[in-house]
Amino acid sequence: MTKLNYTYDEMMADYPYVKPHVVMGEKLHGGFDANGKYISPRMQGRGPAIEAWSQNVLANGGELIDVSVKLLKRDNYPNHQQQKFLLNLGLGKTLWDSLSIVGEIEGRGKVLSDSDGPNFQDIIVEDVSNTAIGHLNKGLHHAHGRDEGGLDGSDIGAHDKMWYVVRDLLFGKNAYPIPTAPDNITRPEGMRLFPKLPEQHEAFLLIYMNILMVEVRAEKMFAFCCSLFRDPDLFKDRRAAAEEAAVLVERIRQDEASHVGYLRAVLSEMRLLTFKLNDGTTVKGSDMLDPVWKGMVDFHSTTVYDNSRKVTRESIIKQLMALPDGEALVRQLDALETPLAAAAE
């Protein structure tokens, strides 16, 4: 019989490591087995659990929501060829800023390990003890937060530090000033979207949707980074370091798969279940969630990219115009533009 109920300790358990994870002298989470294969942290119980819950959705007649990069309607800006153009001009600041900001935002994810969310059993008719929903406060929140921002008092780096190491492998330490990350990368809400639910439950539902779409966008960035770092025409004096940076991104990518997996399972389970509303009535999860999820996808797949493109482009233009023939360089940059509606890879 498939195991569907796990303890907190099982959710937080590591596989045994033969070798620690150290890059550029920085101690990082995870480790390696006897064959040198990287093992993500806290996956001994979490990995099988996420797979079991996902399969249970299908076994109960549900479907797993689409979380592929096909949801995204915009290409990265600058794209590979534009970033290559900038780097070959000696303008690494745009990439440096991007990697620095990713690291800072990852660190903010630690908030998930600092507090528990509401008990969703309070507003769901069916028993959720054998679901991912029922394990949000039994380790899923805490494991996710520690993956992103580490644990207070520990010298083991999480994704925040891993991105800083990626950046420093490419450019060396202190190559450019550290940029300021945006205050918020989630969708701003001007009104209640689930007004018939308790406010705390609504807030966490929106957090799960936002984070899941941030993770979908991250998958596109992982592919972009690995392709860029492995371009033989770039980082010619740091090829070994650039390859190590790409490998480190792949380790982060492996870690993040568990976040996509459990959040996908949670929302897919919720679509199958029945919610109790404040007015005493009930509603099928899919009827309540699907319209809001569609809006969340639309925001993250277009608006986020458009807003980011505007800010990034202003910075790039300023850098190019400071060089001789700046206007000609801007035209060359724009000639490499990818159509905004280009299909996701």
The kind and range of the H/E element at 99 are helix 93-108
**Mean per-residue pLDDT of the chain:** 93
| 125, 276 Cβ separation under 8 angstroms | yes
For the chain, what percent of residues have pLDDT higher than 90?
85
| 13, 45 Cβ separation under 8 angstroms | yes
In eight-state DSSP terms, residue 263 is H
| 252, 222 Cβ separation under 8 angstroms | yes
pLDDT in tens, 191-248: 889 999 999 999 999 999 999 999 999 999 999 999 999 999 999 999 999 999 999 9
Report yes or no on 1 lying in a domain: no
Distance separating the N- and C-terminal Cα atoms of the chain: 38
pLDDT above 50 (res 51): yes
Span 290-297, mean pLDDT? 96
Report yes or no on 344 lying in a domain: no
Span 48-57, mean pLDDT? 98
- What pLDDT, on the 0 to 100 scale, is given for residue 187? 57
- Residue 237, CB half-sphere, CA atoms under 13 Å: how many? 5
> Any idea which residue has 């064959």 for tokens?
35
pLDDT in tens, 216-227: 999 999 999 999
Report yes or no on 171 lying in a domain: yes
The kind and range of the H/E element at 31 are strand 26-32
Report yes or no on 118 lying in a domain: yes
59 phi, psi to nearest 5 deg: -65, -25
Whole-angstrom distance, CA of residue 205 vs CA of residue 8: 21
155 phi, psi to nearest 5 deg: -95, 10
Domain range for 42 is 8-335
Report yes or no on 341 lying in a domain: no
Counting the structural domains of the chain, the total is 1
Q: What Rg do the C-alpha atoms of the chain give, in angstroms?
A: 21
Whole-angstrom distance, CA of residue 275 vs CA of residue 288: 9
Whole-angstrom distance, CA of residue 80 vs CA of residue 86: 10
The kind and range of the H/E element at 112 are helix 111-114
Report yes or no on 70 lying in a domain: yes
Question: Which residue has better confidence, 339 or 222?
Answer: 222
